[in-house]
Structure 1
Amino acid sequence: MDQNMNSTKEGLISGSGAIQHKAYARVGLLGNPSDVYFGKTISFSLANFWASVTLEPSPHLIINPHPIHDLVQFDSLDHLVNRLQSEGYYGGVRLLMSICKLFHKHCKDNNINLSPGNFTLSYDTNIPRQAGLSGSSAIVCAALSCLLDFYKVRHLIKVKVRPNLILSAEKELGIVAGLQDRVAQVYGGLVHMDFSKENMDKLGHGIYTPMDISLLPPFHLIYAENPSDSGKVHSTIRQRWLNGDELVISSMKEVADIAAEGKSAILQKNYQKLAELMNHNFDLRRCMFGDECLGALNVEMVEVARRVGAASKFTGSGGAVVAFCPEGPPQVKRLEDECRKAGFSIQAIQVVPSRLNDVDLKTLSK
């Protein structure tokens, strides 16, 4: 598997005092969406797409709007309406503001002193919007890394709690999500996550186990140019789960068990089993949510892959699909042809190695 990634340096930019960090898109390989139901998941960071945040010391604290994603000047009323219909109302400014607020609160609540000084935050991203690739949390994650370095508190805020901090910043804005995406983006690489109620109640977070990315077979990413809104896909499932719906509860447990089985399959390089688990994961989701809720376009992306015998499932809640061709290059070629006919984009997936540095790793041992 190609493990190369964009080589732009991160951290302190020499001579300028600026700090830059990236966070990458996320692929939920197995177990999603059980992360918000005390389940288990396996996810990895995707080098194909990322968000970057730059922090520069400045006299005043400034959040720079992005010239494209935070557009406030339009050619016409039609331009404004079309823009809102395709991109929505929100860019990344609110995300940067929220993580600044929640970072400050976390430090205050935990008696972490922050040195005085202001900064300017700016961001960029190439993660497709509404594609179920965790574009919003990538911006927040990259911004948090900048704040950790600017205030020199990376050693004081443990890696295990950073996903919670990122999620709290998104929840502040009404974004519905779970910890899985943020764990994958903080840790990087391939991670097995156990969100059992016992762990969450006792620790406040899950048990996160990094895995060797070289164990993975080649995957492909399929996505649509005009995907569905991933925030709407969870629909009534949460309420049904809370109400004790037996189908939802048993299915969600089965989805979580898939991640546990998948961990063993990956460690053994049993890729046929992995393919079966990927397909079963989606089938369970489809049974719970129904095609109307999942959306015809999202279902078609999965079906396109299955028509050539590839295993496939959502990367998140819809908008993109991860596919695996166990028969190798000839099957990949057929998949590419089918995607082209259907009007979908397809890319070979590159997996990001671990994102943790020496300071981060020391916090894991505390």
Structure 2
Amino acid sequence: MICVLLVAGHGTLLESEIKNEATGLYSHLVGIPKALLPGIGGKKILDFWWEVVNMRQLFNEVYLVTNADKYKYYERWATASDFPVENIINDGSTTSRTQLGAVADLELVVRSKRFNDDVMVVAGDMLCEDLNFDIAEVLKFFKFKKGELAIYYEMEEGERTESRGIVEVCPSTHSSGYLRLFSFRITKFYEKPSADVTESRLASVVFYCFQSKTLLTLGEYLKHYPLVEDRGLGKYMEWLINKARITVFGMKLPTGFQLIGQVDLSEYKKWLARYSSKQHGSAAKSITCRSYARVGIMGNPSDGFYGKTIAMTISNFWADVTICESKKVVLIPHPLNDPTEFGSLQDLHGISRKEGYLGGLRLLQATCKKFYQFCSEQGIALAKRNFTLKYDTNIPRQVGLAGSSAIVSATLKCLMKFYDLIDDDLPKPIRANFILNVETEELVITAGLQDRVVQVYEGLVYMDFSKELMEKQGYGKNRTQQPGAFADWWWQGHAAARHPLQGAGQGAGEEASGQVGRFR
């Protein structure tokens, strides 16, 4: 694999504002290219990207493409940063009017170096909120999918879609145990669209992986689009996906990107301050998540027969899981549920006979293992952050209150928050199946669907696990209910029926609920 860092743009706006800034606070940055401006913690922006890709076991070579105007700056940076100076490529442009464009710069590298490798190309002058992600996961996903790959992220409120490349994605499904997984293929790419073109807020940045055979289309594209304004990589991706119909997969990074393209001094100062404050304030922060015990009301508790059920969580029994950043991944055993010390051999015998050998620690470990696997298969690149996990629970064991799945559920919540995943990354129906998969596939615990669904949705939940739904989408139809409305429905149905059980599934009850039907 070859990595190409593009830094050949002419940042005329930012350079001009730095030069004309009245206070003189930025006079020492006059003439310095954007990629070499100070980033977070005093490092230059380009330093972060060089740290990410400087891995000989992943990349045969790393090339840097700049222009004639800024070549000397990057040559000095390379000498100080142990970057091979011979891998700096000068595209010969001196002004924005003579620049080649990113597509031509990439084609210049491929043509001049005559390699036949796959290529990862990154804009080395953009600021990433969290560059501590695992680049190896990006490359592994690219090789696994055997198609082109584009990195995207969820735009924050206030970010304008007109300033980004916007993608629309379509999930293609495959199964893994009880999990129905989704690989996201990019169906449409819009380079800086107007607000009425698409509702998507998934933003693509110059962070792509291309197969060697696809690089042959660079020359074809340049022949058809000779104007420099059409030679941005966003325009090329728009052509590749929308017109050439090349399959491109999407991989989501749970982080934001800024300082993209032409930016001004106020944007640079704003985002630098924001990212710096986030970095300094996050290390000591811990996250605690809670999941509640489950009680069944109607229907088969294990629902292994495509039935319908109603169940609810109860707030006086729960499992808490706490996660905080640490140097290594550490799972802390619970002093009562995972005992390693005993008062005597007789004490060990009595506890083991009564409670068995399996506590909650295995639940934490299995959840972490499956979470990493899920994100790898889904194309979600996690930050390279380690953590310490511990749990506590007051749910009685082996009495049907779903204590095990409560620990798994709370652990999953913690991992999602710790790695900044949102509901769209792991939707509620998929989350419930994930928890079931941890128990049945990883730990061989006999379990049904209902417990996890209720603990994910919380409250009073109606669940329809009909065979048609399960075979079509891999999960049932779940709906939260208002307890008062359910009580009224139950009373009406009970009073209207001759037999108490008959009224639970038809007549007034079925009409009131709209979807409840018969229960096993």
1:160 aligns with 2:429: yes
Structure 1 residues 14 and 276, CA, compared in 2 at 3 Å: closer, same or farther?
farther
The SS at the match of 2:411 is helix
Equivalent position of 2:489 in the other structure: 265
Which string of whole-angstrom CA distances, capped at 9 and with x for unpartnered residues, describes residues 204-253 of structure 1? 11110111123355xxxxxxxxxxxxxxxxxxxxxxxxxxxxxxxxxxxx
- Does 2:406 match 1:138? yes
Aligned in 2, Cα 1:73/1:273: closer, same or farther, shift over 3 Å?
farther
For the structure 1 residues 108 and 269, does the alpha-carbon distance in structure 2 shift closer, same or farther, using more than 3 Å as the test? farther
> Per the alignment, in what secondary structure is the counterpart of residue 37 of structure 1?
coil
**Structure 1 residues 116 and 14: alpha-carbon distance in aligned structure 2, compared to 1, 3 A threshold:** closer
Question: What is the rounded CA distance, in whole Å, between the counterparts of 2:479 and 2:371 in structure 1?
Answer: 25
Structure 2 Cα separation of the partners of residues 141 and 174 of structure 1: 17
Amino acid of the residue matched to residue 390 of structure 2? S
Would you tell me which structure has more strand in proportion to its own residues? 2
| In structure 1, distance between residues paired with 2:483 and 2:285 | 34
Corresponding letter in the other structure for 1:188: E
- Per-residue deviation, 1:37: 1.2
- CA-CA distance at 1:270 after TM superposition: 4.6
Q: Which whole-Å CA distance do the structure 1 matches of 2:456 and 2:401 have between them?
A: 14
Match of 2:296 among 21, 28, 42: 28
Aligned to 2:516: none
Structure 1 position 121, deviation (Å)? 0.3
Partner of 1:169: 438
Unaligned residue ranges in structure 1 (runs of 5+): 1-12, 218-263, 282-366
Contact persistence 2:308–2:463 (CA under 8 A)? yes
Looking at structure 2, the residues matched to 17 and 196 of structure 1 have their Cα atoms a distance apart, in angstroms, of: 43
- Aligned position for 2:472: 202
Return closer, same or farther for 1:14/1:216 CA change in 2, 3 Å cut-off.
Answer: farther
Is residue 2:287 matched to residue 1:19? yes
2: CA distance, partners of 1:269 / 1:99: 43
RMSD: 2.6
Deviation at 1:159, TM superposition (A): 1.1
Q: 1:131 corresponds to which letter in structure 2?
A: V
Which position in structure 1 is the counterpart of 2:347? 79
Query: 1:126 and 1:273, CA in 2 relative to 1: closer, same or farther beyond 3 A?
Result: farther
Provide the aligned length of Structure 1 versus Structure 2: 222
* 1:345-364 map, 5 Å: none
1:183 aligns with 2:453: yes
CA distance in 1, matches of 2:433, 2:496: 32
Mapped contact 1:34–1:41 kept (Cα < 8 A): no
Secondary structure at 2:468 match in 1: helix
Contact kept in structure 2, 1:57 and 1:117, CA below 8 Å: yes
- Structure with greater helix percent: 1
Q: CA deviation at 1:14?
A: 9.6
Distance 1:70 1:270, change over 3 A: same
Aligned mates of 2:309, 2:431 — CA distance in 1: 18
- CA shift at 1:92, angstroms? 0.6
Residue 305 of structure 2: aligned partner: 37
Structure 2 contact 303–449 (Cα < 8 Å) conserved: yes
Residue 265 of structure 1, CA deviation: 3.4
**Counterpart secondary structure, 2:446:** coil
Selected match of 1:276 from 475, 480, 500: 500
Residue 44 (structure 1) shift: 0.3
User: SS at the partner of 2:289?
Assistant: strand
Q: CA 1:119–1:14 in 2, change beyond 3 Å: closer, same or farther?
A: closer
Distance 1:278 1:16 in 2: 57
Structure-2 change in CA distance of 1:176 and 1:121 (3 Å): same
Indicate how the Cα distance of structure 1 residues 42 and 16 shifts in structure 2: closer, same or farther if over 3 A, else same.
Answer: same
CA deviations on 1:239-294 (whole Å, 9 max, x unpaired) are xxxxxxxxxxxxxxxxxxxxxxxxx934x65565799349999xxxxxxxxxxxxx
Q: 188, 192, 208: which is aligned to 2:462?
A: 192
Amino acid at match of 2:435: I
Match of 1:239 in 2: none
Are the aligned partners of 1:57 and 1:119 in contact in 2 as well (CA < 8 Å)?
yes
SS at match of 1:45: strand
Q: Is the 8 A contact 1:19 1:54 kept in 2?
A: yes
Q: How does 1:227-266 map to 2 (within 5 A)?
A: 265-266=489-490
Identity, in percent, stands at 46
Q: Is the 8 A contact 2:462 2:481 kept in 1?
A: yes
Q: Does 1:119 align with 2:387?
A: yes
Aligned letter for 2:339?
A: L
Deviation, structure 1 residue 68: 0.7
Contact 1:265 1:273 in 2 (8 A): no
Give SS of 2:500's match.
helix
- TM-score, length basis structure 2: 0.40
Select 1:101's aligned residue among 361, 369, 373.
369
Secondary structure at 1:276 match in 2? coil
Change (3 A) 1:97 1:279: farther
CA contact (8 A) 1:30 1:278 kept: no
Residue pairs, 1:298-337, within 5 angstroms = none
Structure 2: unaligned runs, 5 residues or longer: 1-280, 506-520
Aligned to 1:291: none
**1:26 and 1:112 mapped to 2: Cα distance?**
31
Please state whether the residue corresponding to 1:35 is helix, strand or coil. coil
Structure 1 residue aligned with 2:98: none
1:64 to 2:332 alignment: yes
4+ runs deviating over 2 angstroms: 13-16, 213-217, 268-281
Aligned-pair distance for 1:86? Answer: 1.7
Q: Supply the AA of the counterpart residue of 1:170.
A: E
Note if contact 1:215-1:269 (Cα within 8 Å) is conserved in structure 2: no
Amino acid at match of 2:427: K
**Is residue 29–residue 278 contact of structure 1 (8 Å, CA) maintained in 2?**
no
- Aligned match of 2:315: 47
* Contact 1:59/1:118 (8 A) holds in 2: yes
Report which of the two structures shows the higher radius of gyration computed on alpha carbons.
2
The separation in 1 between residues aligned to 2:348 and 2:330, in whole angstroms, is 26
d(CA) in 2 for partners of 1:57 and 1:271?
53
